[in-house]
Every structure is written in structure tokens, then in C-alpha cells.
Amino acid sequence: MNKIFSSTTLLFLLLTALCFGQEQNLLHTLDSLKKNENYEAIIQYRKTIDNIPSKSPAKGSYQLALAKAYNNSNKEDSAFLYFKKALKSFTLHQQEERIAETNYEIYSLLDSQKNLESNKEMYLNNLIEYAQEHKSDKWLGAIANQKAISFHNAQEVDSAKHYYNKALSYFRDMDSTKIQIGILSNLAAIHGKVYKDQDSAIIITKAALKLLDQDPTGKKNLNYRFAFCNNLGNYYRRAENYPKALEYYRMAENMDLSKQAHKYYLTLYKNIDSTYVELNDFKNAHKYFSKSDSIEKVINLKDQNASITEVEARYENEKLRADNLEAEAARKRNRNLSILATVLLISVAIVSFLIQKNTRRKQKLAENEKELQTQKLATVLKEQELKAIDAMIEGQEKERLRIANDLHDDLGGLMANVKLHFNSLNGHQNQELFERTNTLIDEAYNKVRSIAHAKNSGVIAKQGLLKAVQQMADKISYANKISIEVIDHGLENRLENSLELTIFRIIQELTTNVIKHAEASEITIHLTNHDDSLNIMVEDNGKGFNPTKITSKSDGMGLGSIDKRVDHLHGSMAIESEPKKGTTIIIDIPL
């Protein structure tokens, strides 16, 4: 693929791949761009990827490949962005193995950035959790190897050695030869360069070379073999075994690498030169010094050739311009035909555009009509809900009044009759037992009366909301041995009757909740009139609770009916509570 890649051609390739669902075409195109380091084409590829629907299961694969391309182009910020997008796509489609791979890539990227404060451990922990859950030696080994590289880069070689060996055990079980070779090479470098233990470095490198020989493709991998022979030469030279060092250096020298491997030979010749200098064999030292010097000149010559090629290209362009001038006469003859074809093409494009625009307009009208019908339906449902709430409140008030009357007239009269008959027994039984029983009957009678008055107080309180709340507080305080304080601000004037009744029932329900659930000894009720709104705040010193677990929709504490009443009044309700720290419920109702 040419480095000057046509944007039009690239776009055509990508759109063709999308139209026919050929995922491999896109990934192969990106791989080609990455190898040629065509950053402009990668950006064009990114624009195409962004247009793929998020519901497509393949989108995450495209994003992951693009992130790797950015990472290889040293665009770590863009790579991180697309790694995150890929992670989101894989999570959406529950592709667990790809999620693990992406977590590994993100951790590796963040770990490679120096002086960067990040939450990289989160991605590593996610990967560890997945690897342990699925017993994946591949990812457990990859995690250990990445940790080893991190410690190696930080010069913490003991920890690096520990994790290299740990990673090696996983990949041995998996029989992953290539990865084992890389780990052994790093371990050898630690022993040879840091520990100065050349014998161990030699043993480990030979073990890696043996693995390379066992791999079917390893025998053809001259670059690996060249590197191992050069490294063995270095370890023997540091151990002052110069003949053995020269033996491995010559093995590397006799390998026929590609013509572009000048830098490999440059390093090798400098090592051989240094070995002969230490042997005081200055003749051979000069020979290999000359070879390395020649390679350096070849490398510089390559740069010169590039400049010559550029000059030659400019010359060819000038010649091409001259040829174009000669062909100008021929092009004029064809100009009219070209203009006609262009006009025809533009006309077709305009007609197509108008047809498409008209189609979109019809679609928009249909969508607007559908949305309007949806809004009408929502309005009808809302009205029905409000009517149901009104009916519910009216029914509750009638039921409360009936219960209060039954308690007061029937059960209250019955309790009074029981007490009258019981008093007639005075003196005929044990006096202490009589008095104790009499006290219990009085308490039961008073309890029935207090419940009846409390249930009916909102109905009989003709003097207004504040007075009704105060009377309710007094009666509940007396009956339940709990302190209830009512604090008001700006409630000198009466509110609308139905509004006062609804607000009273809300406060009554909240107070009942405290008595039933909070185990409180004190309740404070604040009523504040702000002219345009009424603020109600009910506080208690009870045991509290976790508001996230008991929401306004919960039926267990009666909050569902309270929330509906507040919503019916177009108000808002907030709950503030912590375990063992009491509860505060704040309600704002517009007036």
C-alpha cells in the first residue's frame, strides 16, 4: 500500500466492507495502514468506525483494532479513548473474553506511561478476577508477565525475576513456545546485566535457543537466532571466555539476515571489535571496526539516496508538466463533452437530493404525529391518575370518619358499659385485683377515645390546619407517651379546605410512621408558609434507616400514598436519614 493513500479510495474500501458486513476487510485495512504508519488514513478509518451503530456486535473489534493502531503510532491519548470505547461495546454485548483482552491492553498502556497517576489497578483487578473465575492460564500468565515488565522497567529486578518465573510456569503449561522464549530472554538479561551472573545468563539463553529449535517456525526465525547468538557472545565476553564469545559472534555473523538489517550487524561488529581489543588482537579489531564504520556509512548513504530520489521525483514532475502542456489541446476537444456529463451528473444528484429530502420530511411528519399521539395518551393517563388519587383521598376520608364513629359510638359505649358492670363487683372480690383491672379498663377506654379523635381530628378541626395539627400532636403525645412539638411560621391565614385536609393527612401519616417504625421519643413538626409555597418538615430522633433501600415507592412505610398525595399537589418530597441518627422528611407544596 502506498504511503500517499487516496482518501477517496480508502473511504470506498471501508464503506464497501460495511455494506457487505465483512469485518475482516476493515481489520485488514487497518493492519495495512498501521504497518505503513499512514496516520491520515487511520483518522479516516476512525471516522468510519464512529458511524457504525453501537448495537453492532462487531463494533468493539473495530474500536480495539483502532486503539492498537493509535498505540503503535505513539498516540497513547487516542489509543486510551478507543480502548475505553471498545470496553464499553464489549460490555454491552457481554463478550467476556474481549473484555479481558481490553482490560489487559488498557493496563499495559497506563503502566507504560511515566509519571501518570491513574486507576490502572482497577483494570488489572478486573482481569485477575476474570482469569481466576475462568481458570485462564493465558491471562494469569499475561498478568504475571506484565507485572514483571513493570518491575523490570522500574529496576526492581528481584520482583521482576519472581514474576517472570511465575509467568513462565503458566506458559509452560500452555506450551506457548514463543512467549516462553521472550520471558527467558528477559530473565537472562537480568542475570547477565544486573546480577553479573554470566553463567546463569548463558544457561537461560541456551534454554531459550533450544525452545526456538523445537518450534517448527523457530528454525526460520533468523532474527531471534541472531539475537540469541549475539547475547551469548556478550555473556561469554563478560565472563572473559573470549574464544567462546567469538564462536557465537561468528555464528551470528554467518546468518543471512535481510538487507535492511544493517543496525543488527553494526551492533555485532562493534561487539566483535571490543572482544579483539580485550584480546590485544588489534589487527582483527581494526578489521571489524572498519566493517562497522562501513555499515554506518551505508546507513548515511541510505539517507543520501533518499534525498537523490526526492530530487529525481521533482524532476520527473517537471517533465510531466511539460507533457501536460502538449496534451492541453487534446483535452480542450473533450472539454465540452466533460461539461455535458458533469451537468447531467449534477442534475441527477439534485433530483436525488430532493427526493431524499422529501422522504425525510414525510418521515419527520410521521414521527411528529406519533409523538403527538403519545403525548395525548400520556395526558389522558395523567388525568385518569389524578382522578383516581382524588377518589382515593375522598374514600380514605369517608373510611376514617366511619372508623372514628364506630370506635367512639360502638366500641366506646361497649367499654363504658363493661366498666359500669365491673364497678358493681366492687367489694365482692380482691380489692387490689379490682383496682388493677379497673385501671386497665380506663386505659383501654382512653386509648379508644384517643384513636377515634386522632382519626377524626382532620375532619372535625374547623378552626384550620395549624390547630388540627396541634390537637393531633397533643392527643398522640398523651396516648403514646412521646413528645411532639409543632413549630409554625406564617400560618395566620387559612388555606383552601381540601388543601388543608390533604396536608393534614400527610402530616398524620408521617407521624404514624414515626410511632410505628422509628422508636423515637421526640418529634418536631415545622410548618412554614413562604407565600408561594408551604414547607413541611417532620424530624424525629429515632433509629433512622437507609433511604436508598426504602424509596418513596415503598409500601412498607406508607410512603407510596404520601408520595402520590404530594405529587397530586405538584409538590416534592425529600428524605434525609442515617441509621441511629434519626430521620428528616421535607415536603414543599406550591400554593
Domains of the chain in sequence order? 1-80 (no CATH), 178-257 (1.25.40.10), 464-590 (3.30.565.10)
| Cα 130 to Cα 344: distance, rounded to the nearest angstrom | 60
3-class state of residue 430 by DSSP: coil
pTM of the model: 0.37
- Please give the pLDDT value at position 1: 37
Give residue-wise pLDDT tens across range 426-443: 665 567 777 777 777 777
> Edge-to-edge, what's the strand order for the sheet holding 583-590?
483-489, 522-529, 533-540, 583-590, 572-577
Which among 288, 262, 205 has a CA at the least distance from the CA of 239?
A: 205
- DSSP annotation of 558: S
- Please give the pLDDT value at position 534: 93
- Please give the pLDDT value at position 342: 86
Asked if 447 contacts 411 with a C-beta cutoff of 8 angstroms, the reply is no
- Please give the pLDDT value at position 25: 52
Outline where 406-430 has alpha helix (H). Answer: 412-423
User: Tens place of pLDDT for every residue, the chain, 591 residues?
Assistant: 333 333 333 433 443 344 334 445 555 555 555 454 556 667 777 777 777 887 888 888 888 888 888 877 777 888 888 889 899 999 998 999 899 889 888 888 887 776 677 788 888 888 888 888 888 888 888 888 878 887 887 788 888 888 888 877 777 766 677 777 778 888 888 888 888 888 888 888 888 888 777 776 655 677 778 888 888 888 898 888 999 989 988 888 888 776 546 777 888 888 898 998 888 988 888 888 888 887 776 655 454 444 434 433 443 454 455 456 666 666 777 788 878 888 888 988 898 888 988 888 888 888 888 888 888 887 777 667 556 656 666 666 677 667 766 666 666 666 766 766 666 666 655 677 777 777 777 777 777 666 655 555 544 445 688 888 988 888 888 767 789 999 999 888 888 877 888 898 899 889 988 888 888 989 999 999 988 899 999 999 999 988 887 754 454 456 777 888 888 888 999 999 988 889 999 999 998
Which among 433, 398, 389, 399 has a CA at the least distance from the CA of 566?
A: 389
- List Cβ neighbours of 24 (8 Å cut-off, separation of 6 or more): none
3-class state of residue 235 by DSSP: helix
* Cα 559 from chain centroid (whole Å): 34
- List Cβ neighbours of 473 (8 Å cut-off, separation of 6 or more): 484, 485, 486, 511, 523, 525
| Cα 245 to Cα 239: distance, rounded to the nearest angstrom | 9
| Cα 590 to Cα 182: distance, rounded to the nearest angstrom | 72
- Please give the pLDDT value at position 369: 87
Strands 572-577 vs 583-590: parallel, antiparallel or unpaired: antiparallel
504: region left, alpha or beta (phi > 0 left; psi from -120 to 50 alpha): alpha
- Please give the pLDDT value at position 75: 78
Q: Around Cβ 557, how many Cβ atoms within 10 Å? A: 20
Report, in angstroms and rounded to the nearest whole number, the Rg of the chain calculated over CA atoms. Answer: 44
| Cα 206 to Cα 187: distance, rounded to the nearest angstrom | 12
- List Cβ neighbours of 83 (8 Å cut-off, separation of 6 or more): 63, 64, 67, 102, 105, 106, 109
